[in-house]
């Protein structure tokens, strides 16, 4: 596979783009301990989106790794995990963080987790970041699905019916690779809960660059040029900007 695009997504930032059938997305933990909220939409019907419930039920699993599939509510296979150095340290039960999580004081989901990587508490969460990243595509905030939370580690106490987030176990250099099974609109974050960066890379069989590929798509596959323009990377949302806490 040829690397055609690479971009580092800073803490509390996001990225969105088109991923074509057969292309692969590699998400790498740059520093260790990161989390990335990932959402996908059928490019031909943006009302069809990734679904946590069908992904779990269709495979009888609450954790997924290499060989498992990300499904939509219509049971369409969106993406397949083809490589995963974490062995399945990902979440399919939580939704995504938002401003309420950080401002209300009522959120009880933390469990011994080192939050914010020494930065000031965020004012926005992944929901707001993804809303901004998907704005060019007219995706409404309420239509953003609960995500595939790459690298997020949870604990479960089944006897008491409890669950929570705990410190991610992934280390610097860990990665997961997802292959698109259909043409997708794809968006991801570097989650403010962990406030650590991710790297997104796009790989494909053909050589070239991502920009060259997208221009070819617009010219050949979309002669009416109805596809929205690709956001210049990063399609980032940094409402507060990471600020280090005073020592």
The pLDDT tens digits for 16-57 are 999 999 999 999 999 999 999 999 999 999 999 999 999 999
**Predicted structure pTM score:** 0.85
The average pLDDT across 135-158 equals: 93
Domain residue spans of the chain? 2-221
Which pLDDT score is estimated for 106?
82
Q: Is 211 within 8 Å of 221 (Cβ atoms)? A: no
DSSP secondary structure letter of residue 246: P
Residue 94 C-beta-side C-alpha neighbours within 13 Å: 31
8 A C-beta contact, residue 213 and residue 123 = no
Residue 61 pLDDT > 90, yes or no?
yes
Cα-based distances in Å from 57 to 52, 71, 186: 9, 10, 22
pLDDT above 80: residue 143: yes
pLDDT at residue 159 greater than cutoff 50: yes
Collect all residues with Cβ–Cβ distance below 8 Å to 134 and sequence separation of at least 6.
Answer: 16, 144, 185, 187
Reduce the DSSP state of residue 141 to 3 states and report it. helix
| Predicted local distance difference test score (pLDDT) of residue 167 | 87
Average pLDDT, the chain: 85
């Amino acid at each position: 596979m040829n690397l055609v695009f690479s971009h580092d997504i800073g803490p509390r930032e996001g990225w969105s783009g088109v991923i074509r059938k057969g292309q692969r997305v590699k998400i790498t933990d740059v520093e260790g301990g990161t989390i990335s909220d990932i959402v996908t939409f059928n490019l031909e019907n943006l009302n069809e989106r990734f679904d946590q419930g069908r992904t779990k039920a269709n495979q009888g699993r609450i954790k997924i790794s290499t060989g498992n599939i990300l499904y939509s509510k219509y049971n369409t296979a969106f993406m397949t995990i083809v490589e995963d150095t974490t062995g399945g340290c990902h979440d399919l039960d939580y939704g995504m963080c938002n401003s309420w999580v950080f401002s209300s004081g009522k959120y009880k989901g933390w469990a011994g987790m080192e939050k914010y990587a020494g930065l000031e508490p965020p004012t926005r969460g992944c929901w707001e970041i993804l809303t901004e990243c998907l704005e060019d595509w007219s995706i409404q905030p309420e239509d953003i699905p609960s995500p595939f939370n790459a690298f997020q580690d949870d604990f479960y106490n089944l006897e008491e019916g409890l669950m929570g987030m705990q410190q991610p176990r992934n280390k610097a250099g860990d990665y997961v690779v997802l292959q698109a099974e259909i043409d997708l609109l794809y968006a991801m974050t570097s989650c403010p809960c962990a406030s650590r960066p991710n790297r997104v890379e796009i790989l494909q069989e053909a050589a070239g660059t991502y920009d060259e590929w997208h221009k070819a798509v617009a010219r050949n596959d979309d002669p009416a040029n109805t596809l929205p323009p690709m956001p210049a990377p990063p399609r980032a949302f940094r409402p507060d900007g990471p600020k280090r806490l005073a020592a």
